[in-house]
Structure 1
Amino acid sequence: MAKLEIVSPVTGSPRDVWASLRCAAEDAARDEPQLASQLNSVILSHDDLSGALSFQIARKLGDSELGAMTVREVALAAMQADPSIVRSAEADLLAVEERDPAIRSMLQPFLYFKGYQALQSWRVAHWLWEQGRDTLAFHFQSRISELFQVDIHPAAKIGSGVFVDHGTGIVIGETAVVGDEVSMLHAVTLGGTGAERGDRHPKIGRGVLLGAGAKVLGNIQIGDYAKVASGSVVLKPVPSGCTVAGVPARLVNCPTEAAPARTMDHTLADVVYDYVI
């Protein structure tokens, strides 16, 4: 697969994500010789991001029922058939680098952060679902849930440049849609409101920030660049660019800041409008 370059959200310039990741791995292997073997097998022995990412997914998801070699073959097939999987993985890495002050380089999310790893594994499961291979897609979903405590239905739709911080307790339902550039923290639920079938899950717009423990329930639209405060329960649509908070959620600031998912600003405005949506 040809090397891909995408634009950094910070500088607006082309960024070779694979080269940056390799450089970070080389530095780490030099600084921590005890990890050199792992870094070589996961990253430095590969020619491109698809090779490294498929290896990483395989070493995580492989088990006695579906061996790592088979998982890697499936992941590579998905990435070769749909190059957008790798482009999204690159954009997601850049999103973590931009929005998570805890990291030192792209190496940490790629190797250690379960939010990033769960999302990339899900992208393979989603490809399987789109190919009509629902049983294997569900197997991937089950392994992702067991390993990372992130439960995303393979039929859900998720954009690129998405930041899943911490990951623990994330639940995203079958008909949910998550737009580009979204950030979400742990214990976010994008769920339904009952046992109804059909289109029953939230539609999250571009650049939305979903705080820790936020519950967005039902087939409702969360507008672009909206912000859902931590612990909120959202049962009605949220206008673009607005902030909601509470149980049930109320509008507390509208409009809010221009790009909440990128700034990761979870604070609320001093002036609270406090009317039910």
Structure 2
Amino acid sequence: MFIAVAVFNFIYVLLSSASLPSNTLFDLFVGILKSDQEIMDSVKDDLKVVKERDPACISHVHCFLNFKGFLACQSHRVAHKLWLQGRKALAVMIQNRVFEIFAVGIHPGAKIGSRILLDHVTGLVVGETAVIGNNVSILHSMTLGGTGKASGDRNPKIGDGVLIDAGTCILGTLRLVFVLRLVLVLW
């Protein structure tokens, strides 16, 4: 529990603003942590995975102080919980603040598994009905989005163990259950 509390203490300070005061965020984060063991377990699992998969990560503390993908993912976990509780305006406020601070747009309705590595995630966009499984690695400038004004289930579903490389754009109700690695070479 100590690890999750330390991570969320750091995050609520980063996300605080005039419209989201730090004491309000603190109360929200602590309340969610106390009520959701799955989030606490996911924080620890994500932290371990970043250290395992990212050679640039020199320690767990280095990760939670400096890796915006990890911080954005944990912030999303709180926003998603608020979304599920019907506190959608507050969830979207947190999502917007995460976008301002980390340049990562994960809709609070999106479902994200555990053991997630979001590496160099500037430009990451994940739509409302997207699902990301467990043991997934996603790099920067990646979109999991819909295809226009369709309503309902309109975003991709990413299975367990998938790697999505930088610059990938996946639109529509696709289901990916394999490693997706697109490499573009410019001459």
Query: TM-score band, normalised by the shorter chain?
Result: over 0.9
**Structure 1 residues 227 and 72 mapped into 2: Cα distance closer, same or farther (>3 Å)?**
same
Match of 1:173 among 127, 138, 146: 127
TM superposition score normalised by structure 1: 0.65
- Given that residues 141 and 151 in structure 1 are in contact (C-alpha distance below 8 angstroms), is that contact kept between their aligned partners in structure 2? yes
Which whole-Å CA distance do the structure 1 matches of 2:82 and 2:47 have between them?
22
CA displacement 1:172-224 (0-9 Å, x = unmatched): 0000000000001000100011111100000000010000000111001001x
State the alpha-carbon separation in 2 of the partners of residues 180 and 112 from structure 1.
23
- The aligned amino acid for 2:138 is M
Residue 57 (structure 1) shift: 1.4
1:229 aligns with 2:154: no
Match for residue 92 of structure 1 among 46, 55, 66: 46
Q: Aligned match of 2:116 in 153, 156, 162?
A: 162
Where does 1:108-123 land on structure 2 (aligned, <5 Å)?
A: 108-123=62-77
Higher relative contact order (CA 8 A, sep 6+): 2
**8 Å contact from structure 1 (residues 199, 219) kept in 2:** yes
Structure 1 counterpart of 2:14: 60
Counting only pairs closer than 5 Å after superposition, residues 45-56 of structure 1 correspond to structure 2 as 48-56=2-10
Shift of 1:65: 1.4
The 1-side partners of 2:145 and 2:104 are apart by 13
**Whole-Å separation in 2 of the counterparts to 1:59 and 1:124:** 14
Shift of 1:228: 3.0
Distance 2:7 2:181 in 1: 31
Show the counterpart of 1:256.
none
1:200 to 149, 154, 172: 154
CA distance in 1 between counterparts of 2:7 and 2:56 reads 22
Paired letter, 2:9: F
**Which one has a bigger Cα radius of gyration?**
1
Is 1:107–2:27 an aligned residue pair? no
Quick check: 1:165–1:186 contact (8 Å CA) kept in 2? yes
Counterpart CA distance in 2 for 1:178 and 1:229 is 18
Query: Take 1:227 and 1:197, find their aligned partners in 2: how far apart are those partners?
Result: 26
Unaligned runs of 5+ in 1: 4-47, 232-245, 247-277
One-letter code of the match for 1:209?
L
Deviations for 1:203-252, whole angstroms, at most 9, x for unmatched residues?
A: 000010000000111001001x4223246xxxxxxxxxxxxxx9xxxxxx
The question of whether the paired residues in 2 share the 8 Å contact of 1:184 and 1:211 is answered with yes
Partner of 1:191: 145
Aligned residue for 2:150, secondary structure, equals coil
Cα distance in 2, alignment partners of residues 158 and 103 from structure 1: 22
Give the match's secondary structure for 1:190: strand
